[in-house]
């Protein structure tokens, strides 16, 4: 749908997709299950037990595919001293890092540098990154917040000389391939609703398909952007619910049009959502401004220089035609985890809990009755602290793939929150591999 034959031949693309998902623990890659009155889209059956695997396993193979193809072209042109390499740089609030590492580890001619905030990811999230000791993987624990990490990644890409010299590539949802891949599970989960008869299959013979609501726990806003694009493509979505934790800058925008950077990034039970500046929000604003790039540039300049962007109520009303928003407290997060286990014997991660509780509140507020689909973004075992509180100190069984991490050696560099320090680290690690090559 998104890739032309001239870019990637169909049989190559099919092979890339197939190899990307063979590491998942279930044949369908994702699943939909009913829990209470909600339909949960289980997106955590990949190698790192989080939704990021769906896009990043594919993206890792895509990077390798193009690098190998470029190298073959160079050899055919007798550029015998030419070796194509790329340096992948990304920031993570928890799940992107490990998914990117598992997608890139051992890839030919690829080095990957992952920045994550020191002390602000869960212990298992950190171990999923730092226990991968492959030579091409570099974990950088930054003394700052995710927003600091993300800002430095953006600054690296804005440094055109550095970007060209080290052939930078992106694994964050700055890279639109991430969003394109995530669109697929909105469509497929809708199909699964019929296949599992949660929606009446007889409706498929109707001219009008039944609409559903999707609730999306939101941090950097790539996941809900993918849902918005799916809705624009015609998927029968009534409303998207953008649900945040205490770091609720996006919630404020969709309620009153005020997008303001807070002085503090709050540490919560849902660390992957502990973000104040959502990088994909800019893409949504482009739509909100009717594709006017000059208007978007003006809005972003205002936000970047003042930390604030206030839009008139008319924009909020237009945004609410597609997206409603709610924020969820720490107490509500723990409460819904406990409630769902008590009623259904099903354990959700704290991020998924935010999405479910937000959906619960919004359906009451807006009097919405469509089937409620919630994205279950990670396996609960990755977030032990929330489980301890929700279950009075007891912890449900942890998958063996996660338990073993505590016994493995680690490789990580703890570094200052400083752009030049990051650059020097990248230079040091990569120069060893390019000194013998005339071209990067």
DSSP one-letter string for 347-404: ---HHHHHHHHHHHHHHHHHT--S-EEEEE-B-GGG-HHHHHHHTTT--PPPPHHHHG
The catalytic residue positions are 52
Q: What is the spatial distance between Cα 145 and Cα 133, in angstroms, rounded to a whole number?
A: 24
**What pTM does this model have?**
0.92
User: What pLDDT does 71 receive?
Assistant: 75
Four-residue CA torsion sign, 48, 96, 12, 184: positive
| Coil/strand/helix, residue 408 | coil
Angle at 143 between CA 401 and CA 131, to 5 degrees: 20
Mean pLDDT of 62-89: 74
Is the per-residue pLDDT at 435 higher than 60? no
Q: What is the pLDDT of residues 394-433, one digit of tens each?
A: 999 999 999 999 999 999 999 999 999 999 999 999 876 6
13-32 tens-digit pLDDT: 999 999 999 999 999 999 99
Instruction: Give the pLDDT confidence score for residue 73 in this predicted structure.
Output: 67
């Amino acid at each position: 749908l998104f890739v032309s034959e001239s870019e990637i031949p169909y049989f190559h693309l099919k092979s890339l997709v197939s190899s990307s998902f063979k590491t998942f623990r279930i044949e369908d890659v994702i699943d939909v299950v009913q829990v209470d009155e909600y339909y949960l889209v289980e997106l955590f059956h990949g190698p790192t037990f989080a939704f990021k695997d769906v896009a990043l396993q594919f993206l890792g193979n895509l990077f390798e595919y193009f690098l190998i193809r470029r190298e073959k072209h160079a050899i055919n042109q007798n550029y015998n001293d030419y070796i194509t390499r790329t340096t992948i740089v990304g920031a993570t609030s928890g799940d992107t890092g490990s998914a990117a590492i598992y997608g890139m580890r051992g890839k030919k001619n690829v080095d990957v540098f992952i920045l994550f905030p020191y002390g602000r990811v869960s212990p298992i999230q950190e171990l999923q990154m730092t226990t991968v000791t492959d030579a091409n993987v570099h974990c950088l624990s930054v003394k700052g917040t995710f927003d600091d990490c993300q800002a430095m990644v953006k600054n690296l890409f804005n440094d055109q000389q550095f970007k060209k010299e080290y052939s930078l590539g992106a694994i964050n949802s700055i890279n639109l391939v991430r969003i394109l891949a995530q669109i697929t599970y909105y469509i497929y989960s809708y199909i699964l609703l019929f296949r599992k008869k949660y929606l009446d299959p007889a409706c498929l013979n109707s001219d009008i398909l039944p609409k559903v609501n999707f609730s999306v726990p939101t941090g950097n806003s790539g996941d809900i952007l993918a849902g918005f694009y799916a809705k624009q493509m015609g998927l029968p979505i009534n409303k998207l619910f953008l649900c945040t934790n205490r770091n609720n800058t996006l919630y404020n925008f969709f309620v009153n049009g005020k997008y303001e950077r807070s002085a503090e990034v709050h540490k919560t039970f849902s660390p992957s959502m502990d973000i104040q500046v959502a990088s994909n929000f800019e893409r949504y604003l482009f739509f909100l401004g009717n594709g006017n790039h000059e208007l978007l540039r003006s809005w972003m300049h205002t936000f970047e220089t003042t930390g604030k962007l206030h839009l008139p109520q008319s924009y909020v009303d237009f945004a609410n035609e597609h997206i409603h928003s709610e924020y969820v407290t720490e107490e509500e997060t723990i409460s819904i985890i406990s409630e769902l286990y008590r009623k259904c014997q099903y354990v959700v991660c704290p991020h998924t809990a935010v999405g479910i509780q937000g959906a619960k509140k919004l359906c009451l507020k807006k009097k919405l009755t469509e089937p409620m689909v919630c994205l279950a973004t990670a396996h609960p075992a990755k977030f032990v602290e929330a489980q301890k509180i929700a279950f009075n100190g007891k912890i449900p069984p942890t998958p063996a793939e996660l338990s073993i991490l505590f016994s493995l050696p680690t490789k990580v560099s703890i570094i200052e929150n400083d752009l030049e320090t990051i650059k020097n680290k990248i230079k040091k690690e990569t120069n060893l591999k390019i000194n013998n090559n005339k071209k990067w």
